[in-house]
Structure formats: structure tokens, C-alpha cells
Amino acid sequence: MIHPILLCGGSGTRLWPLSRKSYPKQFVPLTGEETLFQASARRLSGEGFAAPLVLTNSDFRFIVTEQLAGAGIDSGAILIEPEGRNTAPAVLAAALWLEKTDPEGLMLVAPSDHVVPDAAAFRAAVAAGTVAAQAGQLMTFGIKPDRVETGYGYLELAEGPGDFAPRPLGLKRFVEKPDAKKAAQMLASGQYLWNAGIFLFSVRAILTAFRAHAPDLLAPVQQAVEQGQPDLGFFRLNPEAWAGAQDISIDYAVMERAQNLSVVPYADGWSDLGGWDAVWRESAADANDVVTSGHATAIDCENSLLRSEGEGLEVVGIGLKDVITVAMPDAVLVAAADRAQDVKQAVAALKAKQAKQATEFPKDHRPWGWFESLAIGERFQVKRIYVHPGAALSLQSHYHRSEHWIVVEGTARVTVDEEVKLVSENQSIYIPLGAVHRMENPGKVPMVLIEVQTGSYLGEDDIIRYEDVYARGQGAKG
């Protein structure tokens, strides 16, 4: 049995403003109807695959379950990392978890934010590596390069790739991201593949490799697993033990030091969507190499990407050439196409000026649904709140604000102190400052309401939770 290990804790700053720390690119539909995370889970499912084991952080845990359910995929264990410690501790935690139930099983470790258009071809490549992995080899997957690329690490083959058919080949060494001259030389040689960061090995083999090459990681990660705690349908790794694990990638910790390495070449399409230039390459372009999506219109443009990600937000480009434009309700990116990899500088600049757009997504996703701010003043805020069928917000109160709720879709069950009542479309209810209150969606369709807040402080951390079906603690998100 192959156990997919989906890693989904990254922030994807090079795809700002659509990808942000609070809602990164793996959860966004960038190149199709499904999100990258959903497409990854679907690609690693079917005959021979166990339910995916997911490693993520606390803020994303409910997004993970919601998106898996939306894709019709049952999840396996979902391990909550207390903080990001890179891929080596994450992979080790997954291996230690699986050792308890399937020590002879195979682990297919994959980022959840890659694009692989031909899922069947990728599964065939995985199948091509299973015999070697079962025999104790540490398998990696290398992508046939089709251009000079300085944004990826490379794998140097110990033998010729031939027709790049998927089969285990000898791996000579890992190569760091090269400059343009070196990348051109490697492309011309035909002996190098892009390092996709996807691995296949047995639970037993990778634990043996960690003991040999990264023994210092074993104690803190094993302690984090053994002393972790179940939390609803999740498993929280112990934060104190986890903090003692080195922040290091699986490449540096194990793969670059191991001798039992093989690589399976893959030539049927892949991208890590590491920038807007990659999104442009992976999208359907018109005759002038222009890609538009959403409410975007291009007039006499060439070699450009125009996206509108806001409802009712029209973006029009006229006479653009080699330009990337991405418009969100709260931020707009305009960049030269050859500067796509520098978008992370915009995030750094916004952080320096303490602009919330650097990290916060316009829609704040919660386990019960999401909300977005429509208007903000010095002593008021107007929000749209979307609540899933059957979902409920926590029983809570506020020190500094009162609220007025107007239901515009569906029906809300509202608690205000001792009173519980149903509020339907076009009806409203007032929540006085300090009142203990809750809203629920008792129906089978989504419930949407407009919330008007007034008060001296309107921050999300002005909340006291008394009961919560999602077992969150205090604070903005708990």
C-alpha cells in the first residue's frame, strides 16, 4: 500500500496577492476548477493508494478537511505541526506515525501545490519506482527540463536517461539552483533533471536513513509524536518537543547523504507554480500569448497575464506587452513578466509598512465558513459572513463592540443571552455590547448575513469563547 504524504504548510509569497500567509496557493484554484491541494490529493488516490496523510498547521486544519470533503476524498491522519520546521521533521513525523500501523508500507511524499496535468502518467511513474522502493531504495522523481531554469535544484544522473521513460536510474548527486550559464550547460548535457521534491520510499528505509544521517532529529520528533494529543479529527504534535527539532529540508538532512538513491524521470508535464510566470505557462493562452481569467479583458496585448479575482472587478489591459497584472479586491499587482520571481519583494515591502495585505487574505476562512470586510471606518465595520449548512460559530461575547445582523440568504438560529430565535431573510437582530451570543445555520443551504459592528475597538481578538464545536481556544482564530 502506498501512503500519500501531503505537505501543505507553505505560504507561496511569489504568487501574491492571490496567495498569502493566511490562505496560500495550495488552497486556491489557480489553473482549473479545483485547488492545487484538491488536485494533488486526487492525483494520489485510487487503487493501491491509502487515504492521504496530511501535515499542515493549525490555521489550515479545517481548510484541509473542507477541501478534501469537497473533492470527495476521505482523509487519513491529519498531523498538526505546531510551527514550520521544514520538510525533514515533517517526513520523519509521518514515518513514525505510519510505523505503528504499516511499517512495511511505502510513503509517497509530495508538496500539495504542484501542477501535474496528466495524473495517470504520474501514477505510472510512481508505479515504476515501487519495486525499487520496496527493496530499500530512496526514490526521487526528476522532471525532464525543457528550458534554462535557475529557480529549481537539479539532479545529476549517473547514467543516460535515454527516452526519459519512467524507470529507476542511478542518481549521482543533487545540484543547488544554478546561475543561467550553468543551467544552460546542464540542459545541453542531457544528464540533469529538475528536482521536483517528490519522494517514494518504504517506512522502514526512511527511518533507517534518518538514524544514519540525521540522528539528532529522531528524539525530538519521536517525542512530538508520542506526546501529541488528539484534537477532534486531528492530531497535534507536541509543541515543546517539536520546537527542539532542527529546521532542515529532507534533501539536506537525508537525501544528499544517502547512498541508496535512485531517480525516476518524468517527462509528461509538471510545474511547482513558483511564480506568476509559471501560472502563465501552465494556462491556455490566445494567439498573442495572452492569458486572461475572471473579469479580465485584453486589448492589443502580447505575452501578458491578466487576472481579476474580485466579484464585479473588471480589469482591462490595453497595449500591454510582457506584463503580469493580478487584481484582488484589496490589492493589485502590476509587474514586468521577467520580474515574476521578485514578487516576494513586494510582500517584504508591505510587511515593512505593516500593511495587512502582505499576509491576510480578503476572505478570512474559519471552520464554519468565511467572512470578508466590506467597509471599515474609525468606529464601524461592515462584514459579509458565510456559514456552511449545519455549521455554528462559537458562543461568545465582546468587550468593545455591539453588532447588528441582517440575514440576506438562508435562515440563522441566533442566541442572545437566554433568548434563542430563528432569523430569516430580510430580518435582523441586534447584539448589545457584552451579550453572550452565537449564530448557527440550521438549514441545508448556505446562510449569508451582513454584520454591522460599532464600537471603540473592532479587532478580531476582541472575542471571549464560552463554547465551540470546533474546540478552538481563545484569540482571533483559537
Domain regions of the chain by residue span: 2-266, 276-352, 363-467
* 184-238 pLDDT, tens digit each: 999 999 999 999 999 999 999 999 999 999 999 999 999 999 999 998 889 999 9
Distance, CA of 376 to chain centre: 29
pLDDT for residue 312: 86
Distances (CA, A) of 364 to 36, 60, 351, 361, 431: 19, 11, 18, 6, 22
Q: What pLDDT shows up at residue 473?
A: 75
Percentage, residues of the chain above pLDDT 90 = 88
Q: How far apart are CA 153 and CA 310, in angstroms?
A: 35
- Rounded Cα distance between 458 and 191, Å, is 59
Mean pLDDT of 111-125: 94
| C-alpha 274, offset from chain centre | 13
Question: What is the band of 476 on the pLDDT scale with cuts at 50, 70, 90?
Answer: low
**pLDDT tens digits, residue range 275-294?**
999 999 999 999 999 999 88
In the numeric block, the cell 503580469 is attached to 324
CATH fit for domain 363-467, picks 1.20.120.330, 3.40.1190.20, 2.60.120.10, 3.40.980.10 = 2.60.120.10
pLDDT score, position 461: 87
Mean pLDDT score, 235-258 = 96
Alpha helices by DSSP H, listed for 190-342, are 203-213, 215-226, 239-243, 250, 276-282
Q: What is the pLDDT of residue 478?
A: 54
Task: Give me the pLDDT at residue 440, please.
Answer: 97
pLDDT for the residue 469: 87
Per-residue model confidence (pLDDT) at position 310: 85
For residues 220 and 238, give the distance between their C-alpha atoms in angstroms, rounded to a whole number: 9
For the chain, give the number of residues. 478
Helix (H, G, I), strand (E, B) or coil at 459: coil
Q: What is the pLDDT of residues 201-211, one digit of tens each?
A: 999 999 999 99
Whole-structure pTM value: 0.89
- Please answer whether residues 151 and 183 qualify as being in contact, where contact means their C-beta atoms are separated by less than 8 angstroms: no
Can you tell me the mean pLDDT for 99-127?
Answer: 95
Spell out where 314-392 has E strands. Answer: 315-318, 323-327, 332-336, 363-366, 369-376, 380-387
- Model confidence pLDDT, tens digit, residues 318-330: 999 999 999 999 9
DSSP-derived secondary structure for 137-166: -EEEEEEPP-S--SSS-EEEESS--TT--S
Give the number of other Cβ atoms within 10 Å of residue 467's Cβ: 11
Instruction: Tell me the pLDDT band of 472, cut-offs 50, 70 and 90.
Output: confident
Nearest one of 364, 434, 365 to 396, comparing CA atoms: 434
Q: Hey, what CATH topology would domain 2-266 get?
A: Spore Coat Polysaccharide Biosynthesis Protein SpsA; Chain A (3.90.550)
Give the long-range contacts of residues 15-18, CB within 8 A, separation 24 or more.
15/273, 15/275, 15/276, 15/279, 15/343, 16/331, 16/333, 16/343, 16/344, 16/346, 16/347, 16/358, 17/326, 17/328, 17/330, 17/331, 17/332, 17/333, 17/357, 18/307, 18/309, 18/326, 18/328
Mean pLDDT for all residues in the chain: 94
- The rounded distance, in Å, linking the Cα atoms of 239 and 248 is 17
Give yes or no on whether 2-266 and 363-467 have one common fold: no
Question: Given a cut of 80, is residue 475 above it in pLDDT?
Answer: no
Helix (H, G, I), strand (E, B) or coil at 407: strand
The per-residue pLDDT for 233 is: 86
Whether the Cβ atoms of residue 386 and residue 458 lie closer than 8 Å to each other: no
Segment 19-46 shows an average pLDDT of 92
Q: According to the model, what pLDDT value does residue 13 have?
A: 86
